[in-house]
Amino acid sequence: MSWERAHVDSNWPTEAIAPHIRALLELIGEDPDREGLQDTPTRVARMFAELTSGYRVDPDKLLNEALFTSNYDGMVLVRGMEFYSLCEHHLLPFFGTVHVAYVPNGKIIGLSKIPRIVDMFSRRLQVQERLTEQIADFIEQVIQPRGVAVAIDAAHLCAIMRGVRKEQARMVTQVVRGVFAEDANLRQEWRAWIQQTTSPVPILPGGGG
């Protein structure tokens, strides 16, 4: 099975979307029948199936009973998770790193589930502010921790390739709730840990740094 087919669910309307991509190619002055573009409408339709797959994730199946009772009461931090999303304003990618922390209140969540939660919300049409809140909201809903913190550091191609064209611009968003908002020492510890993470967001050609 090809990479593209492996990421397209059976209900995805590839055949309905592809003609619109073909029409777009014609409108921008291209020839969709030339060799390099003949399969592009279908490839693009399948690509969007993967990039928007978060809409079709069942949260219960994602968690798959990976919630466990625990007396651990320190900070749990998963840092430096790479993510890719699509800006809902221009359908251009934004990408970078996500850091998620929580302080349990009798329940913990399986380690692999936190990156999957990030993917569930990032693989949708998004704005970074809402993505940050949705990740925090979901973790609060699922395990009701004493506190949760989420930070995202990302580059947005809508501000790099077009518009203001600021190649080195990064956007940072943060949500801190519960004990992270109440306890300055815990909040400082959280920030110190995530500041040690090296971001995978590349420095693009032509910029400083």
Q: Supply the residues annotated as catalytic.
A: 87-90, 128, 156, 158
- Which long-range contacts (C-beta less than 8 Å, at least 24 apart) are formed by 185-192? 186/75, 186/103, 186/147, 187/149, 189/75, 190/75, 190/77, 190/101, 190/149
Q: Which residues contact 2 (CB under 8 A, 6 or more apart)?
A: none
Strands (E), the chain: 67-69, 76-87, 93-103, 107-109, 125-126, 147-156, 171-178
